[in-house]
Amino acid sequence: MTFVVPEEIEAYAAAHTTQAGAFLDELAAETRATLPSPQMLTGELEGRLLEFLVFLTGARRVLEIGTYSGYSALSMARVLPPDGTIDTLELEPKHAEFAAGWIDRTEWADRITIHVGPAERALERLPGPYDLVFIDADKSGYAGYYEAALERLEPRGLIVVDNVLWSGRVLEESDDETDDTRALREFNARVVADERVVCVMLTIRDGVTLIRRR
């Protein structure tokens, strides 16, 4: 993944953002050393953004689609109110097992539930409602996850969607016509035209869209 702002700006922004702390740093290092596709980690900047969003909204029930190594779930967990919970959905047993190992070492272990298997299937068993939904899994699934999130969203809830700029490949002049790129272009067009919602696309990391009900 290439960042959508110049690399030195990204590094400067990360350097002027509160550090994640030793535990999340270790988790990130272990992810990079042992799991495939470590670029999928949300990392320092976006982790702190998610933490801020959970804190600001006071979200109590959080749904995450795409656990990977647990970095984003743990970033959000540490600012949950005392009765807050996170349901996080992960297709790959290997990723789920890795995340569970780290989550179990924290004080939030009993508040984070990892649902292993296809997100579409898990969502059938999770009626919500949710205060905040973070969508960060397979790009071809985004449209379906978005509808599922809206159906389950509290009236003042927030949907956060990752990778919406896809290293700039969503731009019309890009000649990338892969399925994921097309899916993201269609997804972005659908959200901005959707009269049910208000959205803002942030150029942080690989692009993050915030969506709320109108």
Binding site for ligand SAM (CB under 6 A): 40-42, 66-69, 71-72, 89-92, 95, 118-119, 136-138, 141
Contact 209, 202 (CB under 8 A): yes
CA-closest candidate to residue 44, choices 71, 69, 64, 6 = 71
Shortest reach from residue 37's CB to ligand SAM, in Å: 8
Dist. CA 208–CA 170, nearest whole Å:
13
Nearer to ligand SAM, 105 or 156 (CB): 105
Give the DSSP H or E segment for 199: strand 197-202
Contact 44, 20 (CB under 8 A): yes
Nearer to ligand SAM, 66 or 207 (CB): 66
Find tokens 């109110």 and name the residue. Answer: 81
Shortest reach from residue 173's CB to ligand SAM, in Å: 25
Dist. CA 161–CA 34, nearest whole Å:
26
Shortest reach from residue 47's CB to ligand SAM, in Å: 7
Nearer to ligand SAM, 118 or 128 (CB): 118
Shortest reach from residue 214's CB to ligand SAM, in Å: 27
Nearer to ligand SAM, 116 or 213 (CB): 116
